[in-house]
Structure 1
Amino acid sequence: MMLTRLLRHPLGVPAGTLAITVLAILASTTLLWLSSRLLPWWPVPMSFGLKLTMLLTALVALPFAWALLSLLQRAEQLREQLQRIAAFDELTGAYTRRQFSVLAQSTLARLAASGGRASLLVVDADWFKAINDRHGHTGGDAVLQRLGQELLAQFGADALVGRYGGEEFLVLLPDAGPAMACREAHALRLRVAGLRIPARDGGPIAVTVSIGVASASGTTLALGALYRAADAALYRAKHEGRDRVAQAGGPLGPHCLSCTGAPACRHEDP
């Protein structure tokens, strides 16, 4: 398994091949030298100088091969760490903006090809600047970290959760129509509204979120269009008082345009 991964290592095939070649030379040289010493009927006469050269080769090749393999293993570990840093936001555990975009576009392309549907939630923490001003950036980071935890806890592996930037998160719900997306958004809104996040200055931090929702299906599934529609809905939710869900109107979702409770969305098929 280790050798297979080394051969696929981004350092290139030559690096992995070199390691395997060194090990092969080491094994064959050691075996040849031992045979010449232990088997009196060894048919090939060998001079003392050749035997000494083979012995030194074996002694040098072993630590060199071990060091090379250790270096490649460390490089593999660093590569995995860099991949994780590039893929996940360190503070919240959500996907980074770039990784979310890559995965979301791939998911939407697959759904579009099969005639499926999807919804996008744009989630934004309300009055976040005021939280930073009152509790400092440590308090703001605690809020963002908890929001990331709650998003991942609610949606798990069924959705893509990414931190788009600052206090804004994106959630892509594959196979979810407008009604289901609206209900999920309201469930998240209520979940967050009940949080009391400890702060270093003593008082717990209460936070709410505003959420914009947009849905599409078939050939209209495109991340850019979904985001613009959901972001416009988010702006409306903020304008209408925050701590609420607003859903994009028109062909992207005519129902549940603006409401503060999930029952308003129940009349639509999920």
Structure 2
Amino acid sequence: MYMRECESNNQEIIIYGDSKLSRRINEFSNCQTNKIDEYNFTQLYQKDEINKDKKLTNTETGIKNEKLAETLLVGAVTCEWLGSQMAVVRPSAYDIDRQKVDLLAECAAYPSENYGEEPPVLAISIAINEHPKKEKNPDKLKTIPVKYFQSPIYGTPSALESVIMVNVTISRENANKLNKLLENIQQLIGNIHYNTQEQTQQLKEMMDKFANHPTHLQILKDISNQLEFFVKQASAETKKDDELTPRLKTLNDIIGIALAEKEQQLEDGQ
């Protein structure tokens, strides 16, 4: 999992995690090149642009950021807080090192017989804001072509056809707390082969603490509220044969289950 600040993107916190559906997103540019609108994914690279950009160095692309050294990598941590049917996917290590992808975190339901070969996909922007504002603009509700994403499950470009945007905000204080937890987890993971049994247990406890942090419950509630609004909006404005509305309803159901699980865990003192 990764958590970092994108200085050119209004202090946005980007969270990535390992996933069984580790779709590649290294074809997108970073937020400094303005070749892609990182808020709605409506612009995509052409293949020749992708290949040219891959050959450029940090200096040539103007990417020189002192904060790069502060980037936090915790690749071995699995993001569980969205529930068993959701996963956070991450870009390749190549793009993290080059700071090429200052992109929104994405969540995808695992492909299963329940959702067929086109599971709903949710892109989540998690930004720092002391005074969160709800995003209720119906124009944000779009189907986005996912042109270059790869799924190792199928070995070919994914059949996914839409990405649904959700904007979430968390406080600076909570962001700092999560970052501190990630730092401690990173230190233990770095010595995983040399850790004592006591340290291994400590790592598990820290990962559980991160996964069940109250901030994640807040995020789930915010996502659920926005999806509920989107479902009502889409149902009122779209045709019966629309494909996006069922996706929204499925996502809303999944988030609802995850939210109920987290609330129950907190009540049980887990």
- Which structure ranks higher in relative contact order (CA pairs < 8 Å, sequence separation ≥ 6)? 2
Structure index of larger Rg: 1
Question: Structure 1 length normalisation: TM-score?
Answer: 0.25
Query: Which protein has the bigger helix share?
Result: 1
Question: Structure 2 length normalisation: TM-score?
Answer: 0.25
